[in-house]
Amino acid sequence: MGIKSIKDLDLKSKRVLIRVDFNVPLDENGNITDDSRIKAAMPTIQYAIDQGGKVILMSHLGRPKGKVNKAQSLIPVARKLSELLGTSVNMAPDCIGGEVKEMVDSLKPGEVLLLENLRFHIGEEKDDPEFARELASLGDVYVDDAFATAHRAAASIVGICRYIKEKAAGFLMQGEVNYINKAIREPKHPFAAVIGGAKISGKLEILENLIAKVDKMVIGGGMAFTFVKALGQDIGKSLVEDDLIGKAREIMEKAKANGVKFYLPVDCVCAPDAKATKGIETTTIQEIPSDLMGLDIGPASVTLFGEALAGCNTIVWNGPMGVFEQKDFAKGTFEIAKKIASSKGLTIVGGGDTDAALHESNLSDKVSFVSTAGGAFLEMLGGIELPGVKALES
């Protein structure tokens, strides 16, 4: 693809401008509740330090929409970085401007400066050329290690590449792109896709792209009921996108035409609603009571899906099998996580909810690769060219 690695750049004594994704969750006191995204960028940051680079980190946090919001400051991230790196990380008052340039100019090899939230400036999300140029003036080389934002044409991701000649991908970005490309471009067969979550509408591209590549397609979660209804079956109060029933039918017809084995749940755990603690029962998919809704796949579906995945050499998973945040509707997701984790093939998991379920199952280290991204992961699986990846191509 013509993308350089950070290892291809000479970083010694250079100002190394690294786009990271430190969009971490904060509690009401400003404490970081999940530092996994920070830890994911550590190999790239540490490498730049070890190579004698003057490291400048930039990220967004939240959606301040071009306005300064102290609650979305990256100050807590600077503290966490100092702790993880075992060295002081300076915090800039802004991401551009005279004071920031002075701080960058005073950096010594091996030192780290974190810029303030990029989205405090409206020019970031609008890919404003002047804002991108000002960011670019802070670095001699540019490294993008923020795959989770690669589907955004922002100034710090796309625009900046127009003004810095030396550019490359960090280790996290490289790993994401390489693993996903390996799955969708050169998969080892049998190749299975496990797709769940609430709705089809956010996953049309991924379904239509993968249906031409996979040998097996396993559908779970709320989105399964649109497919079930497309087959003419009653689904009680289960979630459905009536306007996409035709599209669901079309996808199943394409699967049949391509010789793809298409799996839907055969039973489900039902309840009056997602918060119910009473009136929960397991029924076949054809016998969902009219006053209940399907909220998880049932044990027979777990067995069916497990048998479908057995022996597959490539498995891609995005989307939970049910409302796993609720204990009574979590078993299906966790059981499928176990099935995928036990596979001897290439296993790639991505998407915020899916990632969370895998971590909660303590199985993250049992799969080949866990993507840090949600939207970017989905779009790349859907065959969509990501602006952040294209911008790095030489």
Give me the CATH number covering residue 73. 3.40.50.1260
Average pLDDT, the chain: 95
Asked whether residue 30 is assigned to any structural domain, the reply reads yes
pLDDT of residue 382: 82
**Could you tell me if 216 and 150 lie in one domain?**
no
pLDDT in tens, 174-227: 999 998 888 888 899 999 999 999 999 988 888 998 999 999 999 999 999 999
Mean of pLDDT values over 294-311: 98
Instruction: Residue 128: count other Cβ atoms within 10 Å of its Cβ.
Output: 16
Asked whether residue 1 is assigned to any structural domain, the reply reads no
Q: What is the DSSP letter of 173?
A: H
**Could you tell me if 94 and 198 lie in one domain?**
no
- Indicate if the pLDDT at residue 8 is higher than 90: yes
- Indicate if the pLDDT at residue 1 is higher than 60: no
Domain residue limits at 31: 6-172
Rounded to a whole number of angstroms, the CA Rg of the chain reads 23
Mean of pLDDT values over 268-289: 96
Confidence of residue 378 (pLDDT cuts 50, 70, 90): confident
Closest CA to 220 of 353, 359, 367: 353
Mean of pLDDT values over 117-141: 98
CA distance 17 to 15: 6
Assess whether 199 carries a catalytic annotation: yes
**Could you tell me if 198 and 168 lie in one domain?**
no
Cα 48 to chain center, whole Å? 24
Q: For residue 89, which amino acid is it?
A: V
pLDDT in tens, 140-177: 999 999 999 999 999 999 999 999 999 999 999 999 99
- Indicate if the pLDDT at residue 394 is higher than 80: no
Asked whether residue 366 is assigned to any structural domain, the reply reads yes
CA distance 360 to 391: 35
CA distance 11 to 156: 20
Catalytic residue among 202, 306, 375, 383: 375
**Could you tell me if 149 and 205 lie in one domain?**
no
Assess whether 37 carries a catalytic annotation: yes
**Could you tell me if 204 and 109 lie in one domain?**
no
Select from 141, 172, 203 the last residue of a domain.
172
Mean of pLDDT values over 103-124: 98
pLDDT of residue 343: 96
Catalytic residue among 4, 199, 237, 249: 199
Catalytic residue among 352, 366, 382, 383: 352
Catalytic residue among 37, 152, 203, 339: 37
Mean of pLDDT values over 29-50: 94
Q: What is the DSSP letter of 393?
A: B
**Could you tell me if 123 and 214 lie in one domain?**
no
Assess whether 249 carries a catalytic annotation: no
Q: Which residue has the higher pLDDT, 22 or 357?
A: 22
Question: Where does residue 101 rank: exposed (0-12), middle (13-18), buried (19+ CB within 10 A)?
Answer: middle
Asked whether residue 392 is assigned to any structural domain, the reply reads no
Asked whether residue 386 is assigned to any structural domain, the reply reads no
Select from 143, 172, 201 the last residue of a domain.
172
Closest CA to 17 of 119, 161, 130, 151: 161
Q: Which residue has the higher pLDDT, 285 or 359?
A: 285
pTM score, whole prediction: 0.87
pLDDT of residue 263: 98
**Could you tell me if 322 and 353 lie in one domain?**
yes
pLDDT of residue 186: 87
Asked whether residue 390 is assigned to any structural domain, the reply reads no
**Percentage of residues in the chain with pLDDT exceeding 90?**
85
**Could you tell me if 140 and 108 lie in one domain?**
yes
Q: Which residue has the higher pLDDT, 168 or 382?
A: 168
**Could you tell me if 233 and 252 lie in one domain?**
yes
Task: Pick the range with the lowest mean pLDDT from 80-84, 123-127, 177-181, 296-300.
Answer: 177-181
**Could you tell me if 168 and 187 lie in one domain?**
no
Task: Specify whether the CB–CB gap between 318 and 351 falls below 8 A.
Answer: yes
